């Protein structure tokens, strides 16, 4: 990995341009070279990690320069530096900035809230979202009755009445209905019986007679057109990106992202598209920097999680005797999905020391934890009749019979305080903020803090981001930005104005990380090799080019504002400005050479308007081919190469 000496760091912001031919050919060559560098990055990182481990055993780790420390905290504790952030952190100091980010309530969020107000579903309660965005079921249109003779009118009338009665009565498609479904139907009938006036109120109003003065006001209102169900997920995705780009609470937003990936839910699993907004708002955000046990409990009670991992269907098995119409069988049954992922992915880790018997016992503890009408209300509900009230043994702990919902709470207590959970969470946090292979020393210290502070996320995080390992030169630019981080960092670096809508979200998806789009519950891997396919690299360069040339609908960068006070005729000054904005002035010799060779033809030639026949020749899929960049050609190409450079894609 390239490391700059302190004096080199101060001198490395300018580019000395010299010769070669053919700009567009060289631009493609430059993009290929930078892509190859990125594809080889895992090898470099592994070598650096191995070298670092050897050095740690023999000598004291090298320290970063002060400028590197500032650039480091801005790349690790935020989604990327904005214009002016480097100078602000330099003024208050790195330690003060860290303390500020660890106290998100002290930071103003007014500007981002104003943007979020344009997304109405964010503030809707789950039942309201379901009511307004669930597609209406198609109405059943009866077939026209055939003409009848007068002689058969009586018999035919009786037959029609019988048919109508049958069609008005709900028929059970599956005789082996689950215990939970049976109980839900029984409760619905009880509710109707308790409200005798309900059916009367639901009767259609009588038709007004012609000439009746109330005929106009009594006319039923037309049914409003159904809203697009996908809009709920899209607005949540947009909110996530807008917060990443514009919120002052950067570390808090990164922790929200961390936990939503840790407790991952696929947005498009049936009714979860309506439940995920409440999951983000009520389950993750209030506890992202709090106590892990509280966060774990919130996810266990979350309808979105119960639906995603099918625990809402889990119940105590109920044998029933044979009848004349069906043989003996078992109603209901355990679903082990949540119990298994609770230990493997949420707490202990795959090597946490649990057995299949523990999975079964935990599944028994969480029977009855279900959802009140998932496609109507979508609220958590505990049903005693579905719970297994027998004795359980979980990880050697005896859970007494008759505990009811306390059985599940007891399991959460055991798991949240388990040493394996402390190690698992500490390892994931260290991997997120230090390197793909974090030093064991910081994992051990962070795990000890986790146990000592009763699972305080804030204090565990503080132990990691103030550690010598965090500020070691081996951690500097040792992480690869995920597609979501890359897009957010690009927009922050260039002070972009965006609505975060589908063009940007789709670009993130093409890079391999659809927002809330991980189908499996393990979340996206936090390692460089997850993002380094050739297709993903091409998608990143396409995005960089589209952003630099303002070809992303709903997103715009103001180059004149970015270059305020800089003479565009002085090409070295422009290059220096953008190197400072994108990589804090710290550019490797290898990347600098590529930039010099690529940009020189643009500097020697006068800017020319592209020919009409070639206007869309190289436009990437998903971007606006008709938009034009109102800037000197070499500036947009400079931005493209810098945003696509290894130094920018690392953090």
Instruction: Name the domain boundary from 236, 268, 288.
Output: 288
Pair 21, 128 in one domain: no
Q: Could you tell me if 564 and 498 lie in one domain?
A: yes
Do 499 and 580 reside in the same domain of the chain? yes
C-alpha to C-alpha distance for 530 and 525, rounded to whole angstroms = 6
Q: Does the pLDDT value for residue 604 go beyond 80?
A: no
3-state helix, strand, coil in the chain (%, to 5): 55, 5, 40
- The 10s digit of each residue's pLDDT in 43-55 is 444 444 444 444 4
Same domain flag for 591 and 533: yes
Is residue 471 domain-resident?
Answer: no
239 domain residue, yes or no: yes
Per mean pLDDT, which of 108-117, 223-232, 617-626 is the most reliable? 108-117
d(CA 621, CA 643): 19
Domain count, the chain: 2
Q: Residues 546, 618: contact at Cβ < 8 Å?
A: no
Q: Which two tokens stand for residue 346?
A: 């949420």
Please report whether residue 462 resides in a domain. Answer: no
Strand, helix or coil at 319?
strand
Q: Are residues 50 and 116 in the same domain?
A: no
State the pLDDT at residue 466. 97
Residue 170 has pLDDT above 80, yes or no: no
Residues 557 and 550: beta-carbon distance below 8 Å? yes
Residue 563 lies in a domain: yes
Distance between CA atoms of 99 and 102, rounded to whole angstroms? 5
According to the model, what pLDDT value does residue 585 have? 86
Comparing C-alpha atoms, which of 440, 451, 526 is closest to residue 484? 526
Please indicate, yes or no, whether residues 508 and 579 belong to a single structural domain of this protein.
yes
Domain range for 116: 103-135+227-288
User: Cβ neighbours of residue 384 under 8 Å, at least 6 residues apart?
Assistant: 368, 404
CA end-to-end distance (rounded Å), the chain: 13
pLDDT tens digits, residue range 488-504?
A: 999 999 999 999 999 99
Q: What is the mean pLDDT of residues 557-575?
A: 88
- Residue percentage of the chain with pLDDT more than 70: 71
Q: Is residue 279 part of a domain?
A: yes
Which of 288, 305, 330 corresponds to the end of one domain?
288
Q: Is the pLDDT of residue 363 over 50?
A: yes
Q: How far is CA 238 from CA 486, 533, 547, in A?
A: 15, 26, 17
pLDDT per position as a tens digit, 63-99: 789 999 999 999 999 999 999 999 999 999 999 999 9
Residues 47 and 112 reside in one and the same domain: no
Residues 6+ apart with CB under 8 A from 274: 126, 129, 130, 133, 134, 229, 232, 378
Domain identity same for 51 and 128: no
Are the CB atoms for 492 and 80 separated by under 8 Å?
yes
Q: Is the pLDDT of residue 278 over 70?
A: yes
Which alpha helices (H) appear in 471-588, and where do they start and end?
483-493, 502-510, 534-548, 559-562, 571-583
What local confidence, expressed as pLDDT, does residue 634 receive?
A: 82
Is the same domain home to 76 and 108?
A: no
More confident residue, 625 or 474: 474
Q: Is residue 355 part of a domain?
A: no
Q: 112-136: buried (b, 16+ CB within 10 Å) or exposed (e) per residue? A: beebbeebebbebebbebbebbbee
147-156, 232-241, 251-260: least confidently modelled range: 147-156
Say if residue 539 is in the same domain as residue 598: yes
How many alpha carbons fall within 13 Å on the CB side of residue 430?
24
Measured distance CA(171)–CA(198) in Å, rounded: 22
Please say whether the beta carbons of 224 and 107 come within 8 A. Answer: no
Same domain, 30 and 120: no
- 241, 272, 288 — which closes off a domain? 288
Task: Looking at the structure, tell me whether residues 498 and 557 fall in a common domain.
Answer: yes
Q: Is residue 394 part of a domain?
A: no
Residue 610 has pLDDT above 50, yes or no: no
Q: Give me the chain's average pLDDT, please.
A: 81
Residue 195 lies in a domain: no
pLDDT band at 142; cut points 50, 70, 90: low
- 440-451: b or e for each residue (b if 16 or more CB lie within 10 Å)? eebbebbbbbbb
Give how far the C-alpha of residue 240 lies from the chain's centroid of Cα atoms, to the nearest Å. 7
């Amino acid at each position: 990995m390239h490391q700059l000496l302190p004096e080199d760091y101060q001198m490395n912001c300018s580019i000395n341009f010299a010769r070669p031919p053919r700009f567009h050919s060289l631009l493609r060559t430059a993009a290929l070279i930078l892509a190859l560098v990125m594809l080889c990055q895992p090898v470099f990182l592994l070598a650096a990690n191995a070298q670092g481990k050897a050095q740690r055993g023999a000598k004291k780790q090298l320290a970063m320069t002060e400028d590197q420390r500032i650039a480091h905290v801005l790349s690790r504790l935020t989604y990327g530096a904005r214009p002016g952030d480097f100078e602000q952190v330099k003024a208050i100091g790195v330690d003060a900035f860290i303390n500020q980010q660890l106290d998100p309530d002290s930071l103003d969020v007014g500007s981002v809230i104003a943007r979020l107000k344009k997304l109405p579903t964010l503030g809707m309660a789950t039942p309201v979202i379901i009511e307004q965005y669930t597609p209406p079921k198609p109405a059943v249109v009866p077939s026209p009755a055939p003409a009848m003779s007068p002689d058969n009118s009586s018999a035919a009338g009786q037959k029609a009445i019988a048919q109508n009665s049958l069609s008005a009565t709900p028929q059970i498609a599956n005789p082996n209905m689950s215990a939970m479904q049976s109980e839900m139907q029984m409760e619905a009938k009880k509710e109707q019986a308790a409200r005798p006036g309900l059916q009367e109120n639901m009767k259609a109003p009588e038709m007004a007679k012609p000439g009746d003065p109330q005929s106009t006001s009594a006319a039923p209102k037309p049914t409003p057109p159904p809203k697009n169900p996908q809009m709920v997920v899209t607005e949540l995705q947009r909110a996530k990106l807008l917060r990443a780009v514009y919120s002052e609470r950067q570390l808090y937003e990164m922790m929200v992202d961390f936990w939503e990936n840790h407790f991952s839910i696929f947005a498009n699993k049936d009714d979860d598209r309506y439940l995920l907004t409440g999951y983000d708002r009520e389950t993750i955000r209030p506890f992202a920097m709090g106590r892990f046990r509280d966060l774990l409990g919130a996810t266990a009670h979350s309808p979105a999680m119960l639906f995603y991992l099918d625990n809402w269907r889990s119940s105590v098995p109920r044998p029933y005797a044979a009848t004349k119409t069906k043989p003996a069988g078992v109603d209901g049954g355990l679903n082990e999905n949540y119990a298994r992922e609770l230990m493997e992915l949420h707490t202990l880790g795959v090597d946490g020391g649990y057995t299949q018997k523990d999975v079964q016992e935990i599944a028994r503890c969480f029977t009855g934890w279900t959802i009140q009408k998932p496609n109507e209300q979508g609220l958590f509900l505990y049903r005693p009749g579905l719970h297994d009230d027998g004795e359980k043994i979980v990880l050697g702990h005896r859970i007494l019979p008759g505990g009811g919902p306390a059985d599940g709470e007891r399991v959460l207590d055991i798991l949240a305080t388990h040493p394996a959970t402390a190690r698992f969470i500490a390892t994931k946090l260290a991997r997120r903020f230090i390197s793909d292979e974090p030093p064991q020393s910081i994992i051990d210290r962070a795990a000890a803090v986790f146990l000592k502070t009763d699972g305080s996320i804030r204090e565990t995080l503080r132990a990691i981001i103030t550690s010598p390992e965090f500020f070691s030169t081996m951690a500097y630019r040792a992480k690869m930005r995920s597609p979501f981080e890359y897009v957010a960092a690009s927009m922050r670096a260039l002070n972009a104005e965006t609505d975060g809508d589908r063009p940007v979200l789709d670009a993130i998806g093409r890079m391999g990380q659809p927002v809330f789009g991980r189908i499996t519950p393990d979340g996206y891997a936090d390692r460089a090799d997850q993002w380094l396919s050739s297709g993903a690299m091409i998608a990143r360069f396409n995005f960089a080019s589209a952003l630099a040339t303002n070809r992303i609908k709903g997103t715009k960068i103001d180059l004149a504002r970015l270059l305020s006070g800089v003479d565009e005729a002085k090409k070295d000054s422009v290059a220096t400005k953008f190197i400072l904005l994108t990589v804090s002035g710290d550019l490797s010799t290898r990347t600098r050479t590529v930039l010099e060779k690529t940009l020189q033809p643009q500097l020697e030639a006068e800017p020319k308007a592209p020919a009409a026949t070639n206007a869309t020749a190289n436009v990437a899929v998903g971007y606006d081919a008709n938009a034009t960049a109102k800037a000197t050609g070499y500036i947009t190409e400079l931005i493209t190469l810098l945003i696509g450079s290894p130094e920018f894609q690392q953090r």
